[in-house]
Amino acid sequence: MSTLGLHPLLTETDRVEIRLTALNDCAPEMARAQFRRCCGSSQWVRRMEQARPFSSLAELEACADRIWTSCHREDWLEAFSAHPRIGEQSQNRWSRQEQSSVGAVVPSVMESLAEANRAYLDKFGYIFIVCATGKSAEEMLALLKQRLGNRADIEIQNAAEQQRLILQLRLRKLLTE
């Protein structure tokens, strides 16, 4: 669902409306594929596809939040597993963009990230999830180390909230790129 061929005089609002209409009108399997780009939870993807049509970006975002917060721990874990660890290379263009600040860090920071990622996975049983957009590698490392001190019941909520932020960013990308 690329907007590259759209008329250059269209505003971003025009492009969002065109993309939203296309998302509303496409076949269910295409809609699921588009939503899967935003979140790896099968339950969230299925329910978003069934919730169409959306009248606006705001309605889409609000629905995405409602569905995400009604998901269960297993759904969250499935979504987390669709992400690379912070500092690891990914084939996913959006993941690479979101973690772009990690690419140019010194080796010692990369080693610290790898070590903290392992500790987090060992402690909680899933990868560290953070909305990386706009954060430096050092900031993400500090957050990772801080969240390592959390209890499991608190941390799953933190991770779920970070995933919610990521899916919101990706929904906007879906309708603007």
pLDDT at 96: 45
Per-residue pLDDT reduced to its tens digit, 65-109:
999 999 999 999 999 999 888 766 545 555 445 554 455 567 888
Right CATH for 12-176 from 1.10.10.10, 1.10.3330.10, 3.40.50.150, 3.20.20.70 = 1.10.3330.10
Does residue 83 carry a catalytic annotation?
yes
Q: What is the per-residue pLDDT across 2-21, written as a single tens digit (0 to 9) for each?
A: 445 556 678 888 989 999 99
Closest among 27, 25, 22, 69 to 44, alpha carbons compared: 69
Q: Pick the catalytic residue: 37, 83, 135, 164? A: 83
Domain residue spans in the chain? 12-176
Q: What is the DSSP letter of 150?
A: S
CB atoms within 10 A of CB 134: 10
Helix or strand or coil: residue 11?
A: coil
Mean local confidence (pLDDT), 109-134: 93
pTM attached to this predicted model: 0.84
